């Protein structure tokens, strides 16, 4: 039987949050099967907290080389993934994206896709440029709905720029090639390698793709079937790390929308149920969190005033402020390198 702490340590090990990975940024992104990338900066921070010796220029270079791409994938949200994973994941996740596009009635999606494909063949477009052109071809349609349908149904990647975090506020998109769809079984293995041990509900919550319980059940001869302390059936790869509940877990800072926080239907292995409302807001923003002893112990944000950058930590319960000092200062040095003063402010509870 696996306790909650057993699950916590197993997942942290796979997420490179017990020990930072020694390799490349592309390694980390591939091993995690993508990092959520709703905004430009969080993926950089997500890689930084998992990769030893990571510098901004490495990820920036990978994006400009096309080795890594920022595109719509799991749960119909933006992710940073390797180009190879995008090509293999995108066809498999087509039902997720199609279902999202169907939320709007009265749109001839086939015609919209054909028009957008033709317009994008002329060169990259921002959606502020693309939507009016589409509206000219579909007068009377809702401009936002047209744009959303294109985001969901046309394989697109964001075009990186020289901005600090590689993308401007209004990025351009370009068509992307896709390949042969990854099999559901291989997709499940990729998930378990990064987030397991896990249930079928966890896999479906992470990906947005339904119907995966029979897939996992059919893989029982090559997976380990384990039991959680609540009696749930968990699947795992036979050779995946499960270091045990007593392994020390260092303080780690996770950015907004971090993939670990969103990686399970049952998030208790990272975020206690009583704290979920403090992490995910009513407008579905997922706040940055920090981990103490492996579990979310509070939220954090960076405030900038002139040349002073302050990391403001808001604990869920009282803890020693000095526990955060070393990691917080290292994070500020990475996130705000042009600030001349870095400070930590831990709010009182």
Cα diameter, the chain: 63
Could you tell me if residue 53 is left (phi over 0), alpha (psi between -120 and 50 degrees) or otherwise beta? left
Q: Which residues are CB-neighbours of 118 under 8 A, at least 6 positions away?
A: none
Q: Both tokens of residue 99? A: 């279902």
239 φ, ψ (degrees, to nearest 5): -105, 15
In-domain check, residue 71 = no
In a domain, 310, yes or no: yes
pLDDT of residue 106: 78
248 token code pair: 């020390």
Handedness of CA 13, 15, 19, 25 (dihedral sign): positive
Question: Can you list the alpha helix ranges (DSSP code H) found in 66-222?
Answer: 83-92, 94-101, 109-120, 127-137, 143-153, 184-195, 200-207, 213-218
- Is residue 85 domain-resident? no
pTM: 0.96
Evaluate whether residue 341 is within a structural domain. yes
Give me the residue label for tokens 């050779």: 239
Question: Would 135 be classed as within a structural domain?
Answer: no
pLDDT at position 283: 84
**Secondary structure element (H or E) that encloses residue 343, with its range:** strand 341-346
Would you tell me how many other CB atoms lie within 10 Å of the CB of residue 349? Answer: 10
Task: Classify residue 246 by burial, with Cβ atoms within 10 Å: 0-12, 13-18, 19+.
Answer: exposed
**Domain span holding position 299:** 271-346
Query: How many structural domains does the chain have?
Result: 1
In a domain, 297, yes or no: yes
> What number of other Cβ atoms are within 10 A of residue 325's Cβ?
14
Residues of the chain with pLDDT under 50: none
* Residues 35 and 27 sit within 8 Å (Cβ to Cβ): no
Quick one: tokens of 236? 């795992």
For 38-58, write each residue's pLDDT tens digit: 999 999 999 999 999 999 999
In a domain, 278, yes or no: yes
pLDDT at 100: 93
Residue 340 lies in a domain: yes
């Amino acid at each position: 039987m696996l306790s909650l702490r057993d699950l916590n340590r197993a997942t942290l090990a796979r997420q490179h949050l017990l020990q930072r990975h020694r390799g490349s940024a592309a390694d980390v992104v591939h091993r995690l099967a993508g990092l959520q990338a709703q905004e430009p900066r969080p993926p950089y921070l997500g890689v930084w907290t998992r990769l030893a010796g990571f510098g901004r220029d490495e990820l920036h270079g990978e994006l400009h080389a096309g080795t890594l791409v920022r595109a719509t994938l799991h749960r119909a949200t933006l992710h940073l993934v390797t180009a190879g994973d995008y090509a293999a994941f995108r066809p498999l996740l087509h039902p997720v994206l199609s279902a999202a596009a169907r939320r709007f009635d009265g749109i001839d999606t086939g015609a919209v896709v054909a028009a957008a494909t033709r317009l994008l063949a002329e060169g990259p477009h921002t959606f502020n440029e693309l939507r009016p052109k589409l509206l000219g071809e579909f007068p009377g349609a809702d401009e936002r709905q047209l744009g959303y349908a294109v985001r969901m149904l046309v394989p697109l990647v964001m075009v990186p720029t020289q901005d600090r975090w590689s993308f401007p506020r209004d990025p351009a998109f370009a068509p992307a090639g896709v390949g042969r769809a990854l099999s559901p079984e291989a997709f499940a293995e990729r998930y378990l390698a990064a987030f397991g041990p896990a249930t079928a509900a966890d896999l479906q919550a992470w990906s947005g793709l339904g119907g995966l319980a029979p897939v996992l059940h059919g893989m029982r001869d090559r997976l380990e079937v384990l039991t959680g302390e609540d009696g749930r059936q968990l699947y795992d790869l036979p050779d995946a790390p499960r270091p045990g509940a007593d392994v020390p877990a260092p303080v780690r800072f996770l950015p907004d929308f971090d993939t670990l926080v969103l990686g399970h239907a049952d998030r208790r292995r990272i975020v206690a149920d009583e704290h979920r409302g403090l992490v995910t807001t009513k407008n579905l923003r997922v706040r940055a969190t920090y981990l103490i002893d492996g579990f979310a112990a509070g939220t954090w944000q960076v405030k900038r005033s002139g040349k002073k950058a302050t990391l403001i930590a808001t604990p869920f319960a009282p803890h020693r402020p000095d526990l955060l000092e070393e990691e917080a200062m290292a994070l500020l040095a990475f996130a705000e390198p042009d600030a001349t003063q870095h400070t930590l402010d831990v709010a009182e509870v």
